Amino acid sequence: MGNSAVRVVAADLHPFQISFMANTLILAVVWPAFKERADPIHRPTRRRLYTFTAIFGGISNLSWFYALANVPLAEATAVTFAAPILVTALAGVMFGEKVGLERWLAVLAGFSGVILIVRPGFTALDAGMVAVLISTVGMAALYVLSKQLTRVEGMRRAAAMMTAIPVVMSAIPAVWVWKTPSLSTMGWIVAMAAVIYGGRMSMLLAFRNAPASVVMPLDFGRLPFIAAIAYVAFGEVPDGLALAGAALIVVASGYVALRPPTVGGQNVA
């Protein structure tokens, strides 16, 4: 629902302003979490995690809001499901993991699905789809960072940090495109912020209490609902290649989620 709300509001406001306003509302709710006392034992680890969360989270958030305003909802969502596949593909570089043949085949299948949706060389690769791809890379990093962060930090403080950075990063571009929203638009933004906040807290809670192999397959269930909303609300109907690509991504990502990357016997995703 939050993604659909972005699409509705984007008809009136620039995506950067939407990101700034929604995240500012969320920050107002989670701000007291910064006053919570943190465990000094994990301070160096938290500092590194916060730095990377700031970089990947901020870029991913801004690019995702931009993508939602310019790319069909179902196609954008399907491409982001490739994030777990990216985690596997990069696991060898980031974590020194030996990636087996079966997972490499899943990675190849997943990226084939992305190509079917994006179709570089056959259709114009516009800024919206580039934003989807950038956001997907950021989401892949956040899957790993969220799992690590919830091991050394309270959920509310983690959510506060994940919110504060997008506010800062979107503030300057939001000023340049600022437009006073109508009351109805503000209502949509408030509803959007509530849904996004609930989603972030749910994600952190899920990653804190369950392995990614349980969380990720459930997340794939969003796609049919998003496709239905996109059809009813915006008249968007994915073509055959996009549907085939989405199916490949979901199957490949599901396989990867059920066989997550491990280093030293512990999941990294």
Q: What is the mean pLDDT of residues 130-156?
A: 80
Nearest to 161 by CA among 3, 50, 68: 50
Given this model, what pLDDT does residue 228 score? 80
Task: Say whether 103 sits in a helix, a strand or coil.
Answer: helix
Q: What is the mean pLDDT of the chain?
A: 77
Provide the domain count of the chain: 1
Q: What is the mean pLDDT of residues 198-211?
A: 75
Lowest mean pLDDT among 83-92, 176-185, 190-199, 231-240: 83-92
CB 195 within 8 A of CB 91: no
CB 71 within 8 A of CB 241: no
Task: Give residue 183's domain range.
Answer: 2-267
As a whole-number percent, the residues of the chain with pLDDT over 90 amount to: 14
Q: What is the mean pLDDT of residues 152-172?
A: 79
- Whole-angstrom Cα distance, residue 50 to residue 68? 26
Given this model, what pLDDT does residue 117 score? 78
Alpha carbon 217 to its chain's center: 15
Task: Say whether 117 sits in a helix, a strand or coil.
Answer: helix
DSSP string of 180-224, one letter each residue: PPPHHHHHHHHHHHHHHHHHHHHHHHHHHHS-HHHHHHHHTTHHH
- pLDDT exceeds cutoff 60 at 38: no
- Report residue 263's pLDDT band, with 50, 70 and 90 as the boundaries: very low
Given this model, what pLDDT does residue 221 score? 64
What is the pTM (predicted TM-score) of this model?
A: 0.74
Q: pLDDT (tens digit, 9 = 90+) per residue, 98-130?
A: 667 777 787 788 778 888 877 655 555 688 888
